[in-house]
Amino acid sequence: MARTTIDGADIRLPATILGVGFGGFVDGILLHQVLQWHHMLSSTGADHIGVREYPVDTVPGLQMNTLWDGLFHVVTWVAVLTGLALLYARVTRSRGRLWRSPALWGWALVGWGLFNLVEGTVDHQLLGIHHVRGGPHQTAWDIGFLVLGAGLIAVGWAVQRRAGAVDLCADRR
């Protein structure tokens, strides 16, 4: 298993953080904005912690949901920037090869899967502030999100395990 680059840099943590940010972007852009299946507070009023209801079919409710969606995007943006900064600081040679490395993308998939598992468990199950898609099959959608997260972790783990030292070494001349 390739854990380090030719510089001796361990890329597992930065790549995982990068994957968390990417996973958050996919969730926020695809599910919140494009498909509009949910927003950060779209299940409040029926949540598990007693947050006031912010219905998305009213202007004040949509304003509050949009604000919290924006804060969510800030957090995912910070995760991406942190992952990139850590990669840049740790990998000083052969950065071009790093972007083609199965180690990087495998760990990024692990990070995306971790995002799904944590966000799905905390926001959907424990807090109940929103669900993947409300309605009669809400639980199935939420479980599917968790299963997708576990699948991303499994695929990411397999991808990073097939990375060899050559994937992270200096380019051959």
Q: HEC profile for the chain?
A: CCCECCCCCECHHHHHHHHHHHHHHHHHHHHHHHCCCCCCCCCCCCCCCCCCCCCCCCHHHHHHHHHHHHHHHHHHHHHHHHHHHHHHHHCCCCHHHHCCCHHHHHHHHHHHHHHHHHHHHHHHHHHCCCCCCCCCCHHHHHHHHHHHHHHHHHHHHHHHHCCCHHHCCCCCC
The vertex-152 CA angle with 114 and 74, nearest 5°, equals: 45
Return the pLDDT at 165. Answer: 57
The mean pLDDT value for 25-47 works out to 96
Tens-place pLDDT, residues 23-35? 999 999 999 999 9
pTM beyond 0.75: the answer is yes
Buried b (16+ CB within 10 A) or exposed e, 5-26: beeebebbebbbbbbbbbbbbe
| pLDDT tens digits, one per residue of 55-110 | 999 999 999 999 999 999 999 999 999 999 999 988 877 777 888 889 999 999 99
Distance CA 130, CA 87 (A): 33
